[in-house]
Structure 1
Amino acid sequence: MTAQRRDWCGGGRGIALILLVLGLCTPLWAGTNERVVTDRYSGLAIGGFDPVAYFTDSEPLAGLPDFELTEDGAVWRFRNDGNRTEFARHPDIYGPQFGGYDPVDMARGVAVAGNPRLWLVASQRLYLFSREDNRDAFKAAPVTFLPAARKKWPDVQETLAR
């Protein structure tokens, strides 16, 4: 949706409701969950990549629509039923830390969405990064960033949409 159309649809609830009925814009009151990096249109978490595959296959692999799970307000996709089941049992282990936001930026108190193709598994946890240099810096010294990121995460979560 273009910025011009988005602004026009957001001009008032009455106009937005009429346009919604006509199918021309999304409702203003539609809830989003930005505590997990999701696509604002599809609702897919981390770009539709299978979070368990980072651990089992050591690479980002696209999940399939046949194996979806809604967790924490986001739609997660998986390569197979086993990965979906494992994630459902342990979302805190397989889900990206800090909701998929870059931990280096999080250490500065800023929520910058991580790219599912720029990733690292460290200490049996998945981290996504917005830039390669952040991933490289984190990989070299995670203890430099993790304490500050963990400290800032609760406050940053409060600023994100529910």
Structure 2
Amino acid sequence: MRPGIALIGLLVCLLSGIWIICPGLPARAATTERIVVNRFNGVAIEGFDPVAYFVDGAAVQGTAEFEANLWDAVWRFRNEGNRASFLAHPEIYGPQFGGYDPVDIARGVTVAGNPRLFVIAAQRLYLFSRESNRDAFAANPERFLHEVGKRWPTLQDKLSQ
């Protein structure tokens, strides 16, 4: 494709806001999504393997070799077993609240969690934007989850608009 035609196509996509018909272009900004994704490639939680948090107790980078598409996001895994486990039970292995920080949600705002800052509580994965949020949540998850339960539905609706 000639550069001039590609530029015109890019401008049409940008001006129209229609990303579905413009493959290979960046996804919408993560702050408007229900799942935290990289705005340029659509990869969820920066490519970290969501199952590895449970299996290894650590944030482990997945690879493009083992990918799955779910919830309008690309998920990466370190092996086929983790990929299969995730696809069988995404509600268990996927980060709660789409990867947004539950402490910030309890305050009424959506801030993307950092996949390197995590807690497994009650067999669920939570990601945090700051170490202080992670530590506060880990000390008393119920305190935050009660407030999150009241605020998340409204915030989630705003993310999808």
Shared fold per TM-score greater than 0.5: yes
TM-score, scaled to structure 2: 0.84
1:126 matched to 2:150? The reply is no
Which residues of 2 match residues 1-150 of structure 1 at below 5 A?
A: 19-21=7-9, 23=10, 27=14, 28-30=17-19, 32=28, 34-150=33-149
Match of 1:13 in 2: none
Evaluate the alpha carbon distance shift between residue 20 and residue 136 of structure 1 in structure 2; reply closer, same or farther with a 3 A threshold: farther
TM-score, scaled to structure 1: 0.83
Q: State the secondary structure of the residue aligned to 1:65.
A: strand
Report how many aligned residue pairs link the two structures.
Answer: 145
Q: Which runs of 5+ in 1 are unaligned?
A: 1-16
Q: What letter matches 1:84 in structure 2? A: R
- In the TM superposition, residue 145 of structure 1 has moved relative to its aligned partner by 0.3
Q: Distance in 2 between matches of 1:147 and 1:91?
A: 23
Evaluate the alpha carbon distance shift between residue 84 and residue 20 of structure 1 in structure 2; reply closer, same or farther with a 3 A threshold: farther
Q: Which runs of 5+ in 2 are unaligned?
A: 21-27
Q: What letter matches 2:126 in structure 1? A: Y
- In the TM superposition, residue 125 of structure 1 has moved relative to its aligned partner by 0.4
Q: Distance in 1 between matches of 2:54 and 2:133?
A: 21
Q: Tell me how large the CA RMSD over aligned residues is.
A: 2.0
Cα displacement string for residues 46-90 of structure 1 (whole angstroms, at most 9, x for unaligned residues): 000000000001100010101000000000000111100100011
